[in-house]
Amino acid sequence: MSSLTEKDRPIVQLLLNTGTCPRCILRFCRVGSQTLYRRAYKNLMKDLEEFLRNNQEKEDRVCFDVADPPCKRIRLEHMEGSDDPNHNGALQQIPLINDENTAVENSSMKVCNVCLGILQEFCEADFVKKVCQKVNSADHQFSSFVFSVSLPPQMSVRERAAWLLVKQEMGNLGLSLSKDDIVQLKEAYKWIIHPQLSEELGVPADGKSLFEVSVVFAHPETDEECHFLATACPDCFKPAKNKQSVFTRMAVLKALEKIKEEDFLKHFPCPPSSPKNFCDVLGIECNNSAVFVAGRYNKYSRNLPQTPWIIDGERKLDSSVEELISEHLIAEFKADSFNFSSSGREDVDVRTLGNGRPFAIELVNPRRIHFTAEEMKGLQQTINNSSDKIQVRDLQLVTRSAICRMKEGEEEKTKTYSALIWLDKAIQKEDIAFLDDIKELKLDQKTPLRVLHRRPLAVRCRIIHTMKSEYIDRHHFRLHLKTQAGTYIKEFVHGDFGRTKPNIGSLLNRTADILELDVESVDADWPPTLDN
Amino acid sequence: RICVITLAEAHPLLQSGKTIKNINYQISANCSRLQNKVSGKSKRGAQFLTELAPLCRISSSDGEEYTIYSCIRGRLIEVNENILSNPALLQEKPLTEGYIAVVLPKFEESKSVTQGLLTQKEYEEVLLKRLNSSS
C-alpha cells in the first residue's frame, strides 16, 4: 500500500483530531512510499486536509503527487519556502477542516502525541545542519555513516496507545490492523533524514559503516508515563546497579508485550495526550568503531612491567610494555584510549627474545582509520626509534576476530626459554647431562606462592617437552627448555617450597635457584610475518 | 601478602636428638586443618585463623607434644601435606620444603600483621638474651 485511499479517511480524521502529526498518520495508514514522508511538513499537512475535504468515491485515486524524485523535491521546497519552519511558533496558518466533527486548533505546530516531534521538527534542515556541524567538528575520518537514534521509552507506550485507538476504529469498520503492518517510527525517520545527512556529509548511509552518528532524545515532560507498567508487570523491572532509571527501553518493551489490552487501557489514556514540548536532544555523538593493530614485541629490559605498575596511586616502575607501544599508536590514530592484550606475558625481570611475543591493541574511537602498509612500517620505525627497552615487528592492521586467534595461541602454543641456574652443591658436567634426555616431563604445579594472593589455589599439570643443558661452572649452568603454554619456569627451577614437583632441585638432589630467565621464542604463527 | 608459617630456627623440634613421631592436623573434634577447602581468588571457605589458633600438633619420640600456632590472623590457604608422608622434611628443610602452612591475611590488616612480627635481627637478639639469662 503506497498511498492513502478512501478506506483510510476515518483513521486520518481521527488521528488528526487527536493531535497526531501527518507523518505518523501515514505510518498508521501503512503508507510505504518513502517519497511521501520526505515531502515538506506543511505540504503534507495541506495534502491531508485536502484529502479529508475530498469526497471522491473511487478507492484507487492516488491523493498525493509523487512525480518528482525526493532529493529534487526537497531542494525545490527549500527554494520555495523562504519562511523557514519556526520550531516553536507558526508554520503557517493551516485552514480549518471543513467538517462538523473537527474542532482542531491550528495556529501553531502542535507537538505530535505519538512521535513527540521526531517526525516533525527533527526532520527539518536546521536539525540536519546541527548534526552535520557536530560531525564536521569531530574530525573523524569516514567514508560512510550509520545513523542511530535513541528514543525515550515512553514513546513505545504512546505508539501502543495510538495503535489500540486505530485498531478499535478499524474494527468498527470491519477491518483489521496488525501491529506489524504499521510503519516503524525509526524506519520512517531514517527514510527522511538519511538522504539529507548523506547530501550534507557527502557520503552514503550504510548499515555496516564503522562510523556512527548517534543522537539521544529525551522527553522529561512525559517520563513518568511508563511508571504504570511497573505495577502492572513488576517482574520486568529489576533495579540494575549502574542504570539511573529502571525504565529502560528494553524493560518497557518487555512489559508492553506482557500487559493485557484491557489493563493497558485502564492505566493509559487512549488517544495519548498532547504534550506541550518537543523532545530535547540530550546529545549528538560521533564514534568510529575500534581498529585493531597487531604485531610482535621484543623486551630487552629486566626492569619493565607489561602493564603500568601502580600501588596506591604511586608508580613503582617507570613506564610499561603496553605504554611504550601504544603511545605512538594513540597519537597517530588519534584514538580516545587503548586496550592492550598479548599471547601470554612475562615477568618484569624477564626478557623476550627471538621473534617476539604476539600482541594486539584495540584503539578506541580512532579519528584516523586508513593507513597504508608503508605508513604502518613508518609507525613501526617510530616506535622502535623511541625506545631500546622494547622493539616491535610485523605491525599491521587486523580485524577483531584476530584477537580470538591470538588468545588461542596463549593456551596452545609452546614456548622456549633460557634459564641461568645456581646450585648450592657443586656439579660436574656429567651431573647435568641426563637432563638432555628427559622428554615430555610431567609437572604438577600448585599455584605459585608469589601469585597466590591474586589467583585461585589449584594444581596445574604441565609438560616440559625438551631440555638442553649448558655447563658453566661448578655452581652454575644454563638450561634451555621447551614447555607447554602456562608453565611456571621459575617455580620449576626452585621448587616453590616443594609445591612444584618435580623440580630442578629434586632432579639434581640439590637446592637450586634461578638467576635469570629469558623467553627465547613464542611458537605462534600469528600475526602473519611481514618482510620488515 | 601471602605468609608461609614455618618452625622457628630455635624450636626444640629442630634441636639435635629429636625425632618426630607424628604430625596431626586434627586439632579438635570438629576441626581438621586437612579439611580446609578454598575456592576462587578471594579464597572463600577458608578456615579463619587468629594468632593463637593451632595449626597442628607434633609429637616426638621422647614423648613430648608441641602445638604449632598460627601466630598471625588470616585465612588458612593450605597446610603442607608433604610433611605427613615425610616428617623428616620438617627437620631437614624447615624453612623451605618443610613449611607448615600458608596463610593469607586480610588486605587491610597486611601492614599491622607485618609490624607485629620480629625482623631476623630482632629475633637473633631475643635468642641471645635467652641464652644469656639461662647461663
Which pLDDT tens digit goes with each residue over A438-467?
Answer: 999 999 999 999 999 889 999 999 999 999
Residue type, A466: T
A65 is catalytic: no
Provide the domain limits for residue B34: 3-133
Alpha-carbon distance A309 to nearest alpha carbon in chain B (angstroms): 17
Across A268-284, average pLDDT: 89
Residue A497 is nearest to which of B38, B39, B97, comparing CB atoms?
A: B97
C-alpha cell at A251: 524493560
Q: What is the per-residue pLDDT for A401?
A: 87
Across A402-420, average pLDDT: 86
Query: What are the chain B neighbours of A450 within 8 Å (beta carbons)?
Result: 2
Write the pLDDT tens digit of every residue in A351-379. Answer: 999 999 999 999 999 999 999 999 999 99
Write the pLDDT tens digit of every residue in A159-201. Answer: 999 998 888 888 888 888 888 889 999 999 999 999 999 999 9
End-to-end CA gap in chain B: 39
Q: What is the per-residue pLDDT for A442?
A: 96
Test A498 with B96 for CB contact under 8 angstroms: yes
- Nearest Cα residue to A156 out of A175, A135, A179, A133: A179
Whether pLDDT at A502 is above 50: yes
Given the residues A65, A83, A347, A444, the one annotated as active site: A347
Q: What is the per-residue pLDDT for A334?
A: 94
Alpha-carbon distance A351 to nearest alpha carbon in chain B (angstroms): 26
Give me the CATH number covering residue B104. Answer: 2.40.50.100
Query: What are the chain A neighbours of B80 within 8 Å (beta carbons)?
Result: 497-498
Q: What is the per-residue pLDDT for A5?
A: 82
Whether pLDDT at A222 is above 70: yes
Work out the percent of chain A whose per-residue pLDDT is above 70.
Answer: 88
Residue matched to cell numbers 586467534? A405
Total domains in the fold of chain B: 1
| Distance separating alpha carbons of residues B35 and A63, to the nearest angstrom | 85
Whether pLDDT at A424 is above 60: yes
Question: Which pLDDT band, with edges at 50, 70 and 90, does A303 fall under?
Answer: very high
Q: What is the per-residue pLDDT for A79?
A: 42
Alpha-carbon distance A402 to nearest alpha carbon in chain B (angstroms): 29
Taking the Cβ of residue B122 and every Cβ of chain A, the question of whether any pair is shorter than 8 Å is answered with no
Test B77 with A498 for CB contact under 8 angstroms: no
Test B38 with A511 for CB contact under 8 angstroms: no
Across A307-320, average pLDDT: 88
Whether pLDDT at A332 is above 60: yes
| Distance separating alpha carbons of residues A105 and A25, to the nearest angstrom | 17
Whether pLDDT at A59 is above 70: no
Residue B41 is nearest to which of A449, A450, A455, comparing CB atoms?
A: A455
Range in A69-83, A233-247, A416-430 with the lowest mean pLDDT: A69-83
Whole-number mean pLDDT of chain B?
90
Environment class of residue A226 by beta-carbon count within 10 Å: exposed (0-12), middle (13-18) or buried (19+)? buried
Interface A:B, Cβ pairs < 8 A:
36
Alpha-carbon distance A456 to nearest alpha carbon in chain B (angstroms): 4
| Distance separating alpha carbons of residues A418 and B57, to the nearest angstrom | 43
Query: What are the chain B neighbours of A510 within 8 Å (beta carbons)?
Result: none
Whether pLDDT at B43 is above 60: yes
Across B77-93, average pLDDT: 92
Test A453 with B1 for CB contact under 8 angstroms: yes
pTM: 0.76
CB of A268 closer than 8 Å to CB of A361: no
Residue type, A387: S
Write the pLDDT tens digit of every residue in B103-124. Answer: 999 988 888 888 888 898 999 9
Whole-number mean pLDDT of chain A?
86
Q: Which of A312, A446, A457, A513 to mutate to test the interface with B (most CBs of B within 10 A)?
A: A457
Q: What is the per-residue pLDDT for A104?
A: 42
End-to-end CA gap in chain A: 61
Q: Does the domain made of A290-410 have the CATH classification 3.30.70.2510?
A: yes
Write the pLDDT tens digit of every residue in A225-268. Answer: 888 888 888 887 777 666 667 788 888 888 888 888 888 888 88
Domain ranges of chain A: 6-58+111-225+268-287, 290-410, 415-522
* Residues 412-431 (A) with a CB less than 8 A from some CB of B: none
Query: What are the chain A neighbours of B39 within 8 Å (beta carbons)?
Result: 456
Whether pLDDT at A80 is above 50: no
For residues A516 and A242, the model is more confident at A516
Whether pLDDT at A103 is above 60: no
| Distance separating alpha carbons of residues B101 and B82, to the nearest angstrom | 11
> Chain A: residue nearest B99 by CA?
A497
Q: Which of B78, B85, B106 to mutate to test the interface with A (most CBs of A within 10 A)?
A: B78
Test A453 with B38 for CB contact under 8 angstroms: no
Q: What is the per-residue pLDDT for A55?
A: 58
Across A49-77, average pLDDT: 53
Q: Which of B3, B41, B84 to mutate to test the interface with A (most CBs of A within 10 A)?
A: B41
Query: What are the chain A neighbours of B43 within 8 Å (beta carbons)?
Result: 456-457
Q: What is the per-residue pLDDT for A152?
A: 92
| Distance separating alpha carbons of residues A494 and A507, to the nearest angstrom | 11
Domains A290-410 and A415-522 in one fold: yes
Test A457 with B77 for CB contact under 8 angstroms: yes
Q: What is the per-residue pLDDT for A158?
A: 92
CATH of A415-522, one of 1.20.1260.60, 3.30.450.20, 3.30.70.3190, 1.20.1530.20: 3.30.70.3190
Whether pLDDT at A340 is above 60: yes
